[in-house]
Structures are given as structure tokens and as C-alpha cells.
Amino acid sequence: MPQRESQPILIVEDSEDDFEATLRAFQRAKLKNPIRWAASGHDALEALAAMMPRPGLILLDLNMPGLDGRKTLEAIKSNPEWRKIPVVILTTSDDERDIEGCYALGANTYVQKPVDLDGLFAAIQRLKEYWFEIAILPADGDDRG
């Protein structure tokens, strides 16, 4: 399996319904990568510490209880082992302060969640095309070889 198809995608989303919808959208887009789910920012950081290979992409919700997406993004981008992993913010917020703040913290892309399932499917298809067919992702950084 090519490396880009073997790298997992970590979805950080506190809503199980939203996670399931995103998972269905990836399945419809015929994405072959393994999908991992973290239901909170804290769970995401624990998963990243244990996950090998490292994810090729992280989809991160902003508005979660506890360790929210902003703090999770800050922790990911301040960790030398994780900072190369592309982080896509996938959130309902279109607040300019959230957008500016996330890019300032190192987000690679900011996407407002579509309100309907068809819109979500279309957005995920475009994310898949860009991140897994056009962009070249960094290797997972596991030098143990």
C-alpha cells in the first residue's frame, strides 16, 4: 500500500454524529486511509503520543468541552514530533477571530462545516482530492525504520 494510503487520518470531534457523518463522507470519497477518532482534545493528544505511523492529516473541531480545538492545535504545533502533521480545522464557526487565531497557531486549512450532509460529502471529497491526491504530505517521521 502506498505510504499516503497507509497514513491514518485522526478526526478530533466531540460529536459522535458528526464523526459518523464525516466517516461516511470519507467512505463515499473512497478514501483508503485508516480513520482514527478522538472524542476530545485530551484524547487526541494521547492518541498522537501512541500512534504509529503518525497521522497524515488531522481534522480538528474547534468547539469541544475541556481541551478545545484551539488549545489542542497549539499543543500539536508546539510539539516537534507532531508539528509537521497538517491540521485542517473543520468547524461550524465562521468567526474571523477563530479563523485568524487558528492560522496564527499553525493550522494548515480552515474549513467551515457545511450544514447539510450533501455539503459535507462535497467538502470531504475536495479535502481528499487536495490532501491525498495533490499535496505531498511529510513522511510520518518515524526514523526507526
Q: pLDDT tens digits for 69-120?
A: 999 999 999 999 999 999 999 998 899 999 999 999 999 999 998 888 899 9
Neighbours of 76 (CB within 10 A): 24
Residue pair 58/10 in contact (Cβ under 8 Å)? The answer is yes
In the chain, the domains with their CATH numbers are 9-133 (3.40.50.2300)
pTM listed for this prediction: 0.89
